[in-house]
Amino acid sequence: MTLGEVKTILDAQLLCGEELLDQEVHTACGSDLMSDVLAFVKDQAVLLTGLMNQQVIRTAEMMDILCIIFVRGKEPAPEVVELAKEKDLAIMTTTHRMFTACGLLFQSGLNGGVHIQ
Amino acid sequence: MKGLHYHYQVPGDDFTRAGEASGAIKAALKKLGFSPQVVRKVAIAMYEGEINLVIHGGGGEIDVDIDGEKVTMVLADHGPGIPDIQKAMEEGWSTAPDNVRSLGFGAGMGLPNMKKYSDEMTVESVVGEGTTVTMVVKLV
Ligand SMILES: Nc1ncnc2c1ncn2[C@@H]1O[C@H](COP(=O)(O)OP(=O)(O)OP(=O)(O)O)[C@@H](O)[C@H]1O
Ligand SMILES: [Mg+2]
């Protein structure tokens, strides 16, 4: 599906990265622990998280994640959005909680990607 | 290819800036046309190291050398040092304080991950003097 479809499914608000909405994505991951994202994510293009700081953006940058979705209706600080713009990442916010947001995307065909030990 | 050298001063008091150096190196390697695999290995290994430099080492310096065969990263700090390097290399071992955990780090995965993503890694540390981590990622 495209990031535009992700946005629709989650009834999400796009904070930056309009130009990425046509990008196709196949896999996603959900985590509040950036240590784990760095250690276990392989080629997931979407990160759902409840954590909000610059290191979420930087972690996404290093892992080639295209889009970060902040769950539970939290609003990131302006400097977090600024950094995402600088790094050409898309940011969305959704009022759904983590489990529901992940479930909705999974149900619509996004999967967790390759499992690595 | 002529050797390239990059030097970064990493402040120890600003967690929000941790990763600036790694981001800059990632962009530089991409621009130089290195394969996505190499770019990613360097980016992840260096970023984990840079985070450690900030949260454990009190800041420090990073030197990156790129030649036709490899990328060499040297991360040096004058922080507290690591008393038991073998223990620190274990997955899950962490002395990170709660405030670091609340920022999404401190799972004890950094050093093992750096080992995984680099082709060679050495950790030298003297308690009370500091730590130097050297990582090499080969280009082929
Ligand atoms: N530069 C350093 N100076 C002093 N101690 C360090 C340094 N780097 C690592 N350590 C010690 O080694 C431990 C393990 O480091 P590692 O990077 O594996 O995990 P972490 O940083 O605690 O958590 P994570 O990397 O998952 O966020 C740290 O908790 C710390 O005690
Ligand atoms: Mg670490």
Contact B18 A58 (CB under 8 A): yes
Contact A35 B23 (CB under 8 A): no
The total number of structural domains in chain B stands at 1
* pTM of the shown model: 0.96
The encoded tokens of residue B56 equal: 């454990």
Ligand 1 in contact with B131 (CB < 6 A)? yes
The tens digit of pLDDT for each residue in B15-59 reads 999 999 999 999 999 999 999 999 999 999 999 999 999 999 999
Q: Which of B68, B67, B47, B17 is nearest to B133 (CA)?
A: B47
pLDDT value of residue B4: 95
A3-107 CATH fold: 3.40.1390
- What angle (nearest 5°) sits at the alpha carbon of residue A31, between those of residues A111 and B17? 125
ipTM score here? 0.94
Q: Is the pLDDT of residue A43 over 90?
A: no
Q: Which domain holds residue B50?
A: 4-138
Q: Which residues of A touch B109 (CB under 8 A)?
A: 35-36, 38-39
Residue B73's CATH number: 3.30.565.10
Domain ranges of chain A: 3-107
